[in-house]
Structure 1
Amino acid sequence: MRDFACFGESGVQIADASSSSSSSSSSKNAQNQVTCIYQTQLGSRSCIITITWTKNLVGQGLSISIDDSTNQSLGKLEIKPWLFSKKKGSKCLDSDKMKAEVFWDLSAAKFGPGPEPLEGFYVAILFDLEMVLLLGDMNKEAYRKTGTSLPPSNAVFIAKREHLFGKKLYCTKAQFCNNGRIHDVVIECDTIGLKDPCLEIRIDRKRVMQVKRLLWKFRGNQTILVDGIPVEVFWDVHSWLFDAPVGSAVFMFHTRIAADKLPWSSSQVFGETQLRDLGFSLILHAWKNE
């Protein structure tokens, strides 16, 4: 997570290797990967749980990592993407620092075009026989399988990174705050053969942002309102305009806490702890189809 982005006073600059334009293989490797970051408590310890969904020619995959607030690894689990040979199961993450259990059932999961399941699944993480993270729509099955009871987990969804592909339109769904509404997000930008390309962002079909003179404003930021909440939008489309067709443009939607609490600086690189303190961040890497 610390490699996602660093922020300058005039916009967003990318530190993630997957957005590098050094090789066209970056786009291929980035295809169909979604990373979600959650903050929760393991006993008295604040921890970060990273869920990464992947998809390739041999099937769907899932990896889980748990780190403490100092980025020290507490445990990892990987389900290899060979047609989900382990579509249902459990595993104990046992180390000298903690002991947690992971339960999953993806046998009836339904997927859209991306690697993240839409419904018919659960992924549950337990610590001291208590549910610390529960994903999916099969809550009853998860609690019955794990032998736990309500209340549900208190994990907070703090960040998500996703790779999008298109020629002019880039579409996804986003939840800008924990337990908030799910919105349709569309980024539209045609840069082919245009002397003055324009960038437009729509949420639920409503235009919330438009950037003209994009050749001069290829990096920047602007505040929009979503559900009455201020959301800072950062964009960097330099690769679209000057490095095409190799590089990706990068967009970040950040739910702000308060303007005076946002310590943007040219040298600041935000990690999991900072993102947790500042709100929710959605990072989108938009690749142009060749």
Structure 2
Amino acid sequence: MVLDRMRDFPSCFGENGVQIADNSSYSSVGLSKSPHNLVTCIYQCKLLGKTCLIVLSWTKSLMGYCLGVEVNDLAGQCVCRVDVKPSLFHKRKGYKCLQVNAGKIDVFWDLSLAKYGSGSQPLEGFYVGVVCKGEMVLLVGDMRKEAIKKANAVPSLFGSVFVSKREHVFGKRVYKSRVQFSDNGKVHHLVIECETIGVNDPRLVVRLDSKIVMQVKHLRWTFRGNQTILVDGLPVEVFWDVYNWLFGTTFGSAIFMFQTCPRTEKLWASQTLDPSEPPWPCLLNSRESKSSDPGFALTLYAWKNE
């Protein structure tokens, strides 16, 4: 499917989706016209008796690394937020108790042994935990035993679901990321390749773990579209928009979305692309869905380093 409107991009998974705003995350890291190395992850959790969304924002800039932990309700309203800024990162671990109307939320983190790759999100040697009423409602990282001991908490009966990841990636021809399409699934190495400079008939190649899973030829005619691939037995819908790479007159990124939610026919909704206000995937309201699984979406903003 190729749409006539060139600057529209998906903003929700269904007509009854819930919009997830990201303005606070961007303002806190100072993103304006130029992109930062930013990874934002959204988890759906049960908190204080209600379903909520916990947003982790990992940022890398000239000042160093920054972590933002934000709790939103399903209306997209921020309930509370913790920012670990670069100037405070000499501690690299800490604890914050946040008072909210319905009780308190405790946030624990330890990045003192964190190991990073080329991006802003640590790969290992860290944990970030959110605790409420003695339950660890969210635990991210590989130091799980240390986190539970430090927080003196037990795992939540409801657990958490990783529903969305958005990442800014940079390169001249090759763009890389890591993706896990289900909570217990394999972590895949994702590579997108596209050469647009000096090529008469550019094509797009997507690889998972070095295996080609998708090719788009004649990209000047198919600069925007979608295709379904199979990953770990799951159908994954891939959407792409490379208009800025081919025809853009200003600095802009191509955008790719990989999403497992079955209701993809409603995915394309009007929204102007603006790096300072990027489109957010929406979570399908579980009350309107036949399944309680909200699915998972990875959105990549691919910026060319000329």
TM-score (structure 2 length as normaliser): 0.82
Cα deviations by residue, 1:157-214 (Å, 9 ceiling, x for unpaired)? 0000001111111111111112210001110100001111101101111111111111
Measured in 1, the distance between the counterparts of 2:137 and 2:205 equals 38
Which residue identity is paired with 1:53? W
Measured in 2, the distance between the counterparts of 1:151 and 1:45 equals 13
Residue pair 1:87, 1:107 contacting (<8 A) in 2 also = yes
Percent of pairs with identical residues: 49
Going from structure 1 to structure 2, the CA distance change for 1:158 and 1:10 (only over 3 Å counts) comes to farther
> Which residue is 2:165 aligned to?
160
Going from structure 1 to structure 2, the CA distance change for 1:191 and 1:181 (only over 3 Å counts) comes to same
2:288 paired with 1:285 = no
Residue pair 2:64, 2:86 contacting (<8 A) in 1 also = yes
2:266 paired with 1:263 = yes
Going from structure 1 to structure 2, the CA distance change for 1:270 and 1:205 (only over 3 Å counts) comes to same
Q: Which stretch shifts more, 175-184 or 218-227?
A: 175-184
Going from structure 1 to structure 2, the CA distance change for 1:239 and 1:9 (only over 3 Å counts) comes to closer
How far does residue 11 in structure 1 lie from its aligned partner after superposition? 8.7
How far does residue 278 in structure 1 lie from its aligned partner after superposition? 4.3
Which residue identity is paired with 1:148? A
Q: Which of 59, 66, 74 is 2:71 aligned to?
A: 66
Q: Which stretch shifts more, 76-85 or 225-234?
A: 76-85
> Which residue is 1:93 aligned to?
98
How far does residue 51 in structure 1 lie from its aligned partner after superposition? 0.2
> Which residue is 2:44 aligned to?
39
User: Superposition pairs for residues 1-290 of structure 1, below 5 Å?
Assistant: 13-14=8-9, 29-82=34-87, 84-150=89-155, 154-243=159-248, 246-257=251-262, 262-264=265-267, 266-267=269-270, 272-274=282-284, 278-290=294-306
1:257 aligns to what SS in structure 2?
A: coil
Cα deviations by residue, 1:238-274 (Å, 9 ceiling, x for unpaired)? 0000116711000000013366xx4345459865432
The size of the alignment, in residue pairs, is 276
Measured in 1, the distance between the counterparts of 2:104 and 2:242 equals 43
Going from structure 1 to structure 2, the CA distance change for 1:271 and 1:165 (only over 3 Å counts) comes to closer
Residue pair 1:63, 1:76 contacting (<8 A) in 2 also = yes
Residue pair 1:166, 1:287 contacting (<8 A) in 2 also = yes
Measured in 1, the distance between the counterparts of 2:144 and 2:94 equals 16
Which residue identity is paired with 2:266? P
Measured in 2, the distance between the counterparts of 1:131 and 1:272 equals 25
Measured in 1, the distance between the counterparts of 2:158 and 2:10 equals 32
> Which residue is 1:22 aligned to?
none
- Flag the structure with higher strand content: 1
Going from structure 1 to structure 2, the CA distance change for 1:154 and 1:278 (only over 3 Å counts) comes to closer
User: Which of the pair has the greater relative contact order for Cα pairs under 8 Å at 6+ separation?
Assistant: 2
Residue pair 1:184, 1:203 contacting (<8 A) in 2 also = yes
How far does residue 14 in structure 1 lie from its aligned partner after superposition? 3.7
TM-score (structure 1 length as normaliser): 0.86
Measured in 1, the distance between the counterparts of 2:268 and 2:116 equals 39
How far does residue 72 in structure 1 lie from its aligned partner after superposition? 2.0
How far does residue 118 in structure 1 lie from its aligned partner after superposition? 0.9
Which residue identity is paired with 2:138? L
Going from structure 1 to structure 2, the CA distance change for 1:226 and 1:27 (only over 3 Å counts) comes to farther
Residue pair 1:55, 1:81 contacting (<8 A) in 2 also = no
How far does residue 69 in structure 1 lie from its aligned partner after superposition? 1.1
Going from structure 1 to structure 2, the CA distance change for 1:70 and 1:97 (only over 3 Å counts) comes to farther
Unmatched runs of 5 consecutive residues or more in structure 1: 1-6, 19-24
Measured in 2, the distance between the counterparts of 1:117 and 1:225 equals 28
Which residue identity is paired with 2:8? Q
Going from structure 1 to structure 2, the CA distance change for 1:47 and 1:123 (only over 3 Å counts) comes to same
Which residue identity is paired with 1:288? K
